[in-house]
Amino acid sequence: MKTTTFFRSKSPGTGAVPPANTTLDNEDFQFLRELIYERSRINLGPDKRVLITSRLAKRLRELRLDGYAEYCALLRSPAGEKELTFLIDRISTNHTHFFRELKHFEFLEHKFLPAWRANHATRSEALRVWSAASSTGEEPYTIAIHLAEHLAAAEEGAWQIEATDISTRVLALARHGVYPEEKLTGVSAEQVRRHFQKGVGDRAGEFRVKAGLRERVRFQHLNLLQPPYPFKQPFHVIFCRNVMIYFDRPTQEALVASLTDWLVPGGHLLVGHSESLGNIKHGLKLVQPAVYLKPPA
């Protein structure tokens, strides 16, 4: 199969800006930690001063502020609400990659989809999957590639993926669906040919998810900690991976309860393999590591 190509010019850079004073004193550090926790439940320990300064130094330069005292004053001002979105964007870790935690995709292929196909013979329902912290899109596009390859042709029309994240910056990148070649590790050469367009000219070395697959994924902004969620129908599978790790136990418990409400009975919740639900109360059944079932009604 031939890899198709796409043409697009890169956006212009923002230009040079003067460096900011990067000293963060105790009072401002405490203010930022409390504000971040209050609004995102990301709990930054007292050892995270360097992390905050390294993540925010560029933002201070962009705003041409002199230091963190000015930045904290901005956050306290009426314009602070808008800046808070940028702050949480910069602080949250967006690391992700294609086919991350392969065991989940093996579970879908060998356990979930065979059962789905068997049931699907008697009910013509679309398969609904939610990628609940989708970051720059690698997770929902991996799910899309996987479903495109493992659902029989007759069922191809019958699946849809919702993808959400708190960060508007990563959502914009995800919607665009363009990745440098080095981000495609884990995607086979055949999958690249089948599902990506190759960039040419000044986009050489980049690959864009093909339109047919991009159309299967609907990206929208959503803070997992602010239910009610805006969906019309519950999901058969929810991926909520590598985000709960930031939250304290009561927050995790409330989040898992909200996610459970959005699963059909018999649906599955997939969490990151380092995010056991062992320490919290929930109504799900462990099926295998990091895979939970909402018991059928």
Binding-site member from 243, 256, 270, 271 for ligand SAM (CB under 6 A): 243
Check: CB of residue 241 under 8 Å from CB of residue 272: yes
Choose the catalytic residue: 33, 41, 128, 165: 165
- Is residue 61 part of the annotated active site? The answer reads no
**Shortest distance, position 179 Cβ to ligand SAM, whole Å:** 14
75 forms part of the interface with ligand SAM (CB under 6 A)? no
- What's the closest the beta carbon of residue 15 comes to ligand SAM, in angstroms? 27
By beta-carbon proximity to ligand SAM, the closer residue of 167 and 191 is 167
Distances (CA, A) of 19 to 26, 62, 197: 21, 9, 38
Of the residues 133, 209, 217, 284, which one makes contact with ligand SAM according to CB under 6 A: 133
Out of 64, 95, 193, 285, which residue is the one contacting ligand SAM (CB under 6 A)?
Answer: 95
Tell me how long the chain is. 297
Q: Which residue carries 């390859």 as its tokens?
A: 149
Q: Is the bond into 19 cis (omega within 30 degrees of 0)?
A: no
Does 274 participate in binding ligand SAM (rule CB under 6 A)?
no
Among 40, 160, 191, 197, binds ligand SAM (CB under 6 A): 40
Closer residue to ligand SAM in complex, CB, 177/199: 177
Q: Is 94 in the site for ligand SAM (CB under 6 A)?
A: yes
Q: Min. distance of Cβ 134 from ligand SAM in angstroms?
A: 6
Other CB atoms closer than 10 Å to residue 181's CB: what's the count? 14
Q: Does 252 bind ligand SAM (CB under 6 A)?
A: no
Binding to ligand SAM (CB under 6 A) within 183-242 occurs at: 223-225, 241-242
Confirm or reject binding of residue 96 to ligand SAM (CB under 6 A): yes
In the numeric block, the tokens 């904290």 are attached to 72
Q: Is 41 left (phi over 0), alpha (psi -120 to 50) or beta?
A: left
In angstroms, the CA 75 to CA 1 distance is: 52
DSSP state, 154?
A: G
Q: Which of 8, 39, 55, 194 is catalytic?
A: 55
Q: How far is the CB of 148 from ligand SAM (least distance, A)?
A: 19
Q: Residue 4 or 93: which CB sits closer to ligand SAM?
A: 93
Report the distance separating Cα 255 and Cα 246, nearest Å: 12
By the 10 Å C-beta count (0-12 exposed, 13-18 middle, 19+ buried), 270 is classed as buried
Residue 47 annotated among the catalytic residues of the structure: no
| Pairing status of strand 5-6 against strand 291-293 | unpaired
Closest CA to 177 of 202, 151, 142, 147: 142
Interface ranges with ligand SAM (CB under 6 A): 40, 92-96, 100, 133, 135, 139, 165-167, 170, 223-225, 241-243, 272
Mind telling me the catalytic residues?
55, 165
